[in-house]
Amino acid sequence: MPAIELDGVTKRFGDVTALRGVDMAVDEGEVFGFLGPNGAGKTTTIDILLDYVRPTAGSARVFGHDVREDPRAVRERTGVLPEGFDVYERLTGRQHLAFVRESKAAGDDVDAVFERVGLEPDAADRKTGGYSRGMKQRLVLGMALVGDPDLLILDEPSTGLDPNGARRMRQIVREEAEDGTTVFFSSHILSQVEAVCDRVAILQDGEVVATDTVEGLRSAVDVGSVLTVSLAAPVDGVAEAAERVDGVESARSDGATVTVTGAGDEKMAVLTAIEDAGGDVEDFSVEEASLDELFAAYTDRTGDEQ
């Protein structure tokens, strides 16, 4: 049984159509990235899963429970870090976790949760009215973990987190996944999801334009990586030599720097070709396709087909 199933989900807010027939299935135990630019409909999709928002058409199920018929069953098994939330500013962090613990009839050690999400003990005993955005984010991530949920839904979880916090968040996602928890998380930044996700769906303009592994997506759209090679000194003909390697789309030299696109898995062959042509390779770096480029590629491709 899939952890999450969306079946032709359409949502209109007045004249605005936020989702257009979204079909998606997330398997139990996988880490699923939900990617898309701001305004693509990611939060609306998550709001439908949590029954905050009702679909205009279509249906959604979590662990087989229809989210509209049985929201309690969904919420019992799910931990959520929503988007646009606020905490109860008159309660301490500890009181927040105690409330979740009681609500879910869970027996978690509150201190262990605080340590896990990186909230200091003295912060835990302060009222959350004085918390920074990042601290609130950590607290709510901790609340989502209480009761060992079978599904974690994280909506833009890195918002407000410093690089340390973001790293810790990814670490928690990995640990939970090892534990068998299904993780569904949305982001508009590819680098955040590609490090942890098994599969990714790309949402654009209310439609799922692709569902695949991160590598699968890359090869599918063929916006291969960009290889930048620094030479000790400018050498004529290296770009042409690189371009002759199979799979390379283009190569050009600019002084002592050679930029090669589409090298993909043939990086070593390209470097060898450059050396054979007389270039003295000092350094090289590979830049993977960014999410923006992936989006652009998908948009272009769908544009071509029309």
Partner 1 sequence: MSDAGGDRSGVAVLDEAMREQFTWYVVAKKEFNDAVRSKGLWALSAVFTLLFVLPAGRIWWNQRSSDQQLGQQALDIGMQFFISRFYLDTVTLLVTIVVLFVGYAAVTKEKESGSLKLLLSLPFTRRDVIVGKVLGRSAVAAVPAAIGFGLTAVFFALTPFTFKAGVFLWFVLFSLTLVVVIAAIAVSISGAVSRNLYSLAGSVFVYVYFNFAWNSLANGVGNLLSNNLGIGGPARWHIVLFLKLFNPMQAFKTLTNSVLSERANAAQTARFGMFRQGETEMQTICADVLKGQPRTVQGMLGNQTVCQGGGSGVPFYFSDAAVFVYLLAWIAVAAGISYYTFDRVDL
**Residue 68 in contact with partner 1, rule: CB under 8 A:** no
**Residue 218 in contact with partner 1, rule: CB under 8 A:** no
Among 90, 122, 255, 303, binds partner 1 (CB under 8 A): 90
> At a CB cut-off of 8 Å and minimum separation 6, what does 169 contact?
141, 154, 157, 158, 161
Among 6, 30, 35, 47, binds partner 1 (CB under 8 A): 47
Among 60, 100, 200, 274, binds partner 1 (CB under 8 A): 100
| x/- letters, 131..150, toward partner 1 (CB under 8 A) | ---------x--xx------
> Taking phi first (over 0 means left), then psi (-120 to 50 degrees means alpha), and beta for anything else, what does residue 21 get?
left
**CA 295, CA 29: separation in Å to the nearest integer?**
27
If one counts every other C-beta atom within 10 angstroms of the C-beta of residue 209, the result is 18
**Residue 88 in contact with partner 1, rule: CB under 8 A:** yes
For partner 1, the closer of residues 61 and 218 by Cβ is 61
**Are the CB atoms for 208 and 23 separated by under 8 Å?**
yes
Among 23, 27, 39, 103, binds partner 1 (CB under 8 A): 103
Q: What is the DSSP string of 38-95?
A: TTSSHHHHHHHHTTSS--SEEEEEETTEETTT-HHHHHHTEEEE-SS----TTSBHHH
What does the block give as tokens for 53?
């928002």
DSSP state of 153: E
> Shortest approach of partner 1 to residue 269 CB, angstroms?
51
> Shortest approach of partner 1 to residue 108 CB, angstroms?
14
Binding residues for partner 1, rule: CB under 8 A, are 13, 47, 50-54, 71-72, 75-76, 78-80, 82, 84-88, 90-91, 99-100, 102-105, 140, 143-144
